[in-house]
Amino acid sequence: MVTIPNIISILRVPLALLFLKQDILIRATAIVLAMVSDGLDGFLARRYQLSSRLGTLLDPLTDRFFIFFVITVLFSEGRITNWEVGALVCRDVSLMLFGCYLAVMGRLKNYQFRAIWCGKATTFLQFINFLALALHIPVPSYLYGVYLILGVLAFAELYLSKEVVTS
């Protein structure tokens, strides 16, 4: 279903590609626009009842694409280390582990996925982190520990809210 919120979500793909330009202003603009689009697509979908199954898949997929693309570029430029990459993707590892848990328990196909607080917080902090790096503001390595904590909390939040499983 083609809706304005879905189009806004899809726009994060070309915004990520702008990160290939080694221009501070272009990168900062791409990150700010990705942040705005991340909030705007969901707001419009809820406000105007334009939510769709496609939209619930597109939004997190385009978020992940943007984030993983930017992480890859920053890593290839030597702007972030292996440890920082691992910390930045900790929440995503938690989501995969939770998916494996659901699959092993035979509950994956009946699980109703929804946004979680830790996921929203992680994505917001990743955008802020990327903006700082794009603007050549150093991010102390120890701050990446927050992503590890949010990754563990994301798994706990998913596990504790598993009663969302439908029969």
**What secondary structure letter does DSSP report for 122?**
H
Distance of CA 10 to the CA centre of its chain: 14
- Domains in the chain: how many in total? 1
- Averaged pLDDT of the chain: 92
Q: What CATH number is associated with residue 9?
A: 1.20.120
Rounded distance between C-alpha atoms, residue 32 and residue 38, angstroms:
10
Contact 149/156 with Cβ under 8 angstroms? no
Tokens for 17? Answer: 């590609």
Lowest mean pLDDT among 14-18, 81-85, 109-113: 109-113
- In this predicted model, what pLDDT tens digit does every residue of 103-151 receive, in sequence order? 999 988 888 777 899 999 999 999 999 999 999 999 999 999 999 999 9
Q: Which two tokens stand for residue 104?
A: 């092993």
pLDDT band, very low/low/confident/very high, at 37 (cuts 50, 70, 90): very high
* pTM for the structure as a whole: 0.91
Residue 34 predicted with pLDDT over 90: yes
Instruction: Name every residue whose Cβ is closer than 8 Å to that of residue 45 and which is 6 or more positions away in sequence.
Output: 3, 5, 51, 52, 55
pLDDT, residue 165, reads 40
Amino acid at 154: A
Q: Report which of 6, 26, 23 is spatially closest to residue 15, judged by C-alpha positions.
A: 26
Band (77; pLDDT cuts 50, 70, 90): very high
| Cα gap 148→68, rounded to integer Å | 16
Q: Which domain holds residue 127?
A: 4-164
